[in-house]
Amino acid sequence: MIPVRYNIRSLAVRKATTLATGLGIALVVFVLASALMLSAGIRKTLGISGKPDTAIVLRQGSDAELGSLIEEPSVGIILAAPGVKNEDGAPAGVGEVIVVGAMEKLGAIGVSNVQLRGVTDNVMKFRPEAKIIAGRVALAGSDEVIIGVRLRGRFKGLDIGQSFDIKKNRPVTVVGVFETGGSSYESEVWVDRDVLRAAYGRQGHVSSVRVHLDSAAAFDAFRIGIEENKQLGLMAMRESDYYERQSEGTSKFIGAMGTLIAVFFSMGAMIGAMITMYAAVANRQREIGTLRALGFSRGSILTSFLLEAIILAFAGGLVGAAASIGMGFVHFSMMNMASWSEIVFSFDPTPAILGRALAFAGIMGLLGGFFPALRASRVSPVAAMREA
């Protein structure tokens, strides 16, 4: 077996080509890892929004809260269904209204949709994970709103003390900023439900009803109680399942696009690695002949040059993976097709994603180095010494 230090020395001698090929592989790994991190970030942001012991009720056939409409009298029937938890002598549930409003983005030309959630005065109790981090809670029945932390400073009027129109000529004032542990709620504006309903003509209706259950196991009884009442025309699902469906399409699209781009980039990187290794074989004919003359077999030569290509690719992969970790500090906003509103996501670097990216780098080195290594193994020691 040829010592590994021989391969490392060979790469160090060819600094220019080694650096160029390594950076190409690093770019591929960076793109792939970043796409996978964003896909994971989307699933994480929407995933932590839902809890297995919380159920959401929508109009039958609705894909999301935005397209659902439930009559106010049905809310009481939902809250009285089996399995609903009682807190302080009252059912633990809320009926909320969801609309989207077009808002002007700061630092960019154009507008984007922001989700407005019409909430009741017990919203902070129903969602204990929601914490005010600046300002104060909005007064019930007032034209005051609170905004998610990820919206702050991204849109015109979305900061404490500023005002914006939830609809034309219907201004509200921001009095607080809240966070919910990184969930999708942080990309919403919370408005008093009656104020929002009056502005959009939704009196007597809500978009969805959420309830806390006695336990996660109580969901089946709750669902049967809701869906067996055909007059209601409603459907129930676990909140965690609901948000998993919301994230599924977007996360798969981002992951697939990132992988596709990385595959195309990897072709160029593998060609670069192949050229580098072919050049190494051409310039080291005498070395290869000497190794063969010393008794190293063709298999040893093949393994050595293949290992050299993998080392090069893995080194580039480490650089790309290290650079991609920095994306964990980046927030990325995009349109969620399920809600037709902009949500701010973060990249989620995980050991599994970094491992997959490095494995991809190793595969690039293996594929890019195989044919040059095969050529090196077939060099005749007599012919190599004669050419030298």
d(CA 276, CA 321): 22
Contact at 8 Å (CB) between 347 and 328?
Answer: yes
- Cα-Cα-Cα-Cα dihedral of 264, 268, 269, 270, to 10°? 100
pLDDT at 386: 59
Q: Which residue matches tokens 């009056």?
A: 198
Nearest residue to 211 (alpha-carbon basis) of 119, 121, 93 = 93
Rounded Cα gap, residues 285 and 293, in angstroms: 12
Spatial CA neighbour of 119 closest among 53, 46, 172, 164? 172
Query: For residue 17, how far is the Cα from the chain centroid?
Result: 35
pLDDT in 10s for each residue of the chain, 388 residues: 777 787 777 777 778 778 888 888 888 889 888 888 888 887 777 777 778 899 999 999 888 898 899 999 999 999 999 999 998 888 999 999 999 988 888 876 778 889 999 999 999 999 999 999 999 999 998 999 999 999 998 889 999 999 999 888 889 999 999 999 888 899 999 999 999 999 998 899 999 999 999 999 999 999 999 999 888 899 999 998 888 887 776 767 777 777 787 777 778 777 877 777 777 777 777 777 777 777 778 888 888 888 888 888 899 999 999 999 998 888 777 666 666 667 777 888 889 999 988 998 888 888 888 888 888 777 776 665 555 5
State which H helix or E strand residue 381 sits in. Answer: helix 381-387
**309 within 8 A of 365, measured Cβ to Cβ:** yes
Enumerate the domain spans of the chain. Answer: 4-47+247-387, 61-232
On whether the CB atoms of residues 288 and 380 are closer than 8 A, the answer is no
Amino acid letter at 195? Answer: V
Q: What CA–CA distance (Å, rounded) separates 151 from 341?
A: 12
Amino acid letter for position 377:
S
| Whole-angstrom distance, CA of residue 264 vs CA of residue 28 | 9
Instruction: Please tell me the distance from the alpha carbon of residue 46 to that of residue 244, in angstroms, as a whole number.
Output: 7
Say if residue 181 is exposed, middle or buried (CB neighbours under 10 Å; 0-12, 13-18, 19+): exposed
Strand, coil or helix: what is 199? helix
Structure token pair of residue 73: 């009298």
Q: Are 191 and 141 in contact (CB under 8 A)?
A: no
Q: Checking DSSP bridges between strand 170-179 and strand 144-148, what pairing results, if any?
A: parallel
Q: How far apart are CA 186 and CA 195, in angstroms?
A: 21
The DSSP output letter for 326 is: G
pLDDT at position 345 is: 76
CA neighbor of 316 nearest in space, from 13, 31, 6: 31
Q: Quick one: which of 71, 64, 54 has its CA closest to 231?
A: 71
d(CA 90, CA 75): 13
**CB-count burial class (<10 Å; 0-12, 13-18, 19+) for 280:** buried
Neighbouring C-beta atoms of residue 129, cutoff 10 Å: 15
What b/e string do you get for 232-270 counting C-beta neighbours within 10 Å, with b at 16 or more?
A: bebbbbbbbebbbebbeebbeebbeebbeebeebbeebb
